[in-house]
Homo-oligomer: A and B are copies of this chain.
Amino acid sequence: MPNKNNTNTDLAPLLPILYEEAVRRALLEDLGARGDITTDAIVSPEDTASARIIARERGRIAGIEIARHAFHSLDSNIRYEILRRDGDDVEAGDTLAHIQGAARPILTAERTALNFLSLLSGIATETRNIVAIVKPYAARVVCTRKTAPGLRGLEKYAVRAGGGSNHRFGLDDAVLIKDNHIVVAGGVAEAIRRARSHIGHLVKIEVEVDNLDQLEIALREKIDAVLLDNMPIQMLAEAVRIADKKAITEASGGITPENAGSIAATGVDLLSIGWITHSAAALDLALDLAFNL
């Protein structure tokens, strides 16, 4: 059950307010001022078609409702039957959704629908794969703010669909004190004190530390979490031992499928991984169409 953590696989209710605009923008980008001139020339408004969205490789699905919305933005009468929901695993050849309706809007919305679905499923799949590696351990996989500009909410959703958890959504929902902040403040303790006096009571504080000295200082200030940046495995294990439940521990920097297991084995609570969003390969999906001649 890789989704057990903080997955919300039911994006549908938020679509009308949170994500309609992203779909609309993507469709406008593809349609330009003239629309789909190929389909308009060749396909009649009366032609109908049925189609399937199929997986061409194995992976984890995310964005099936966003894809639906791309079709329905052009024609609300299209029938769109979802066979695999977000968070489901698929094999090459599996059908994700059946589509039935006017052929024109199906063809015109195809690329927009697939672009969302491939991007998000690619992220979910990368997340799932790394989550599977750390599964024997207590550690959770979390994403970062390294996301495609303008698509963060959706990409973080895909991480959840992949079984991962979310770190901060933005600069405003938690304090993360980084090395640069520490330099300005003149020290870890002072930085933490400034932050604490500034924030509301529902805001947590995490501090990035590079070594065990900084860690001990940070822990004395009773912070919520500590980001252990680029530490060798040995030091990381020692850091986790020192933190000893006094703060959530997060490993960060250079985490790969090869070393993820041994990092998780240190007992660290979180593995923070940027590439599950910024460098995930798209999942290979296609729309197979059959005209109702």
Taking Cβ atoms with an 8 Å cutoff, the residues of A that contact B are 4-6, 8, 10, 12-14, 16-18, 22-43, 45, 47, 49, 73-75, 102-105, 107-108, 111-112, 114-116, 118-119, 122, 140, 142, 145-153, 156, 165-178, 180-181, 183-185, 191, 194-195, 197-204, 206, 224-225, 248, 250, 269-270, 274-275, 278-282, 289, 291
By beta carbon, the residue of chain B nearest A148 is B148
By beta carbon, the residue of chain B nearest A44 is B184
Given the known interface contacts A13-B74, A149-B112, A181-B38, the answer about A165 and B201 at a Cβ–Cβ threshold of 8 Å is yes
Contacts of A149 in B (CB 8 A): 22-23, 25-26, 29, 112, 115-116, 119, 151
Shortest 6 CB-CB contacts between residues of A and residues of B: A41-B198, A32-B172, A26-B149, A279-B281, A34-B172, A174-B202
Check B30–A24 contact: CB distance below 8 A.
no
Given the known interface contacts A30-B170, A37-B171, the answer about A282 and B279 at a Cβ–Cβ threshold of 8 Å is yes
Residue from the list B4, B146, B181, B202 in contact with A173, Cβ < 8 A: B202
Residue from the list B4, B34, B105, B112 in contact with A169, Cβ < 8 A: B34
Residue from the list B28, B37, B199, B225 in contact with A18, Cβ < 8 A: B28
Residue from the list B42, B152, B201 in contact with A142, Cβ < 8 A: B201
Given contact pairs A31-B170, A36-B171, enumerate 6 new A-B contacts (beta carbons under 8 Å): A4-B197, A16-B74, A23-B149, A38-B171, A150-B150, A202-B225
Check B201–A250 contact: CB distance below 8 A.
yes
Check A199–B145 contact: CB distance below 8 A.
no
CB distance from A70 to the nearest CB of B (A): 9
Check A8–B38 contact: CB distance below 8 A.
no
Check B35–A18 contact: CB distance below 8 A.
yes
Contacts of A280 in B (CB 8 A): 279
Check B199–A269 contact: CB distance below 8 A.
no
Check A73–B16 contact: CB distance below 8 A.
yes
By beta carbon, the residue of chain B nearest A206 is B202
Given the known interface contacts A115-B146, A171-B32, A198-B6, the answer about A278 and B289 at a Cβ–Cβ threshold of 8 Å is no
CA distance A32 to B49 in the complex (A): 31
CB distance from A205 to the nearest CB of B (A): 9
